[in-house]
Amino acid sequence: MDSPEQPQIYLITPSEFELSWPTEMLARVLDAHEIACVRLDLATRDEDRISRAADACREVTHARDVAIVITDHVVLAERLGMDGVHLSDGSKPVRAARKLLGPDAIVGSFCGTSRHDGMSAGEAGADYVAFGPVGQSALGDGSTVELETLQWWSEMIELPVVAEGGLNAEIAGLLAPFTDFFGIGDEIWSSDDPVAAMERLHRAFV
């Protein structure tokens, strides 16, 4: 993914959804907003469930010329027609994923709050790194990414960066000058109207 002039939307699916969800809700959001990439981020480890969900999401995204990556399932990524993989375990798996998927696949790495892991991921061949959470979260040890980390990255490193986790309009407005993509998922899926929720969040960083 190339660095845009202003932050673009990197859409993260819910961890669980019905197989009708992509055509009913994902399609609505993609049609209403310009989305740079979708990440299939399922909690299940059931291969059949993952495969069917991937097929449904891929049909919706590719029909709209939107790239789709899958979280962690490197071996399944190519088989399921994904455009790449998002690795949730820092920089360690990046080199192996790149070797398996080849130079044209998208390989992204979630590096938590660690600038060092982000740099290591880039050196290993990642196309982007993701830092998070940027807002308060009960996940992990409760730590959040410091503004200074994203500011330093935007000034010193060319590799595109995704800011995600605990976003709200205030945080998005603050971080907009220092990130290439906002990873948005539960922030809108927990709403009764995800399209409207995305619009409210999007207005904060355009």
3-state secondary structure 58-99: HHHHHCCCCEEEEECCHHHHHHCCCCEEEECCCCCCHHHHHH
Q: Give the position of tokens 């990439």.
A: 37
In sequence order, the β-bridge partners of residue 163 are 131, 182
- Residue 1's pLDDT is 73
Residue 145, in any domain of the structure: yes
Asked if residue 62 belongs to a domain, the reply is yes
72 torsion bin: left (phi>0), alpha (psi -120 to 50), beta (else):
left
CA distances to 5, 17, 185 from 21, in Å: 31, 6, 14
Indicate whether 167 belongs to any domain.
yes
pLDDT digits (tens, 9 = 90+) for 57-84: 999 999 999 999 999 999 999 999 999 9
Residue 117 lies in a domain: yes
The yes-or-no verdict on residue 3 having pLDDT over 70 is no
User: Is the confidence at residue 175, as pLDDT, over 80?
Assistant: yes
Q: pTM for the whole thing?
A: 0.96
110 pLDDT exceeds 90? yes
Which CATH number characterizes residue 47's domain? 3.20.20.70
Residue 9's pLDDT is 98
Asked if residues 187 and 14 have their Cβ atoms less than 8 Å apart, the reply is no
What's the pLDDT at 22? 97
Residue 180: inside a domain: yes
Domains: count for the chain: 1
Question: Cα–Cα distance between 28 and 60 in angstroms, integer?
Answer: 10
Query: Does residue 1 lie within any of the structural domains?
Result: no
Encoding tokens for residue 92? Answer: 């360690």
Residue 3 lies in a domain: no
Asked whether residue 121 is assigned to any structural domain, the reply reads yes
Mean pLDDT on 40-46: 97
Q: Is the pLDDT of residue 130 over 70?
A: yes
Domain that holds residue 190: 8-203
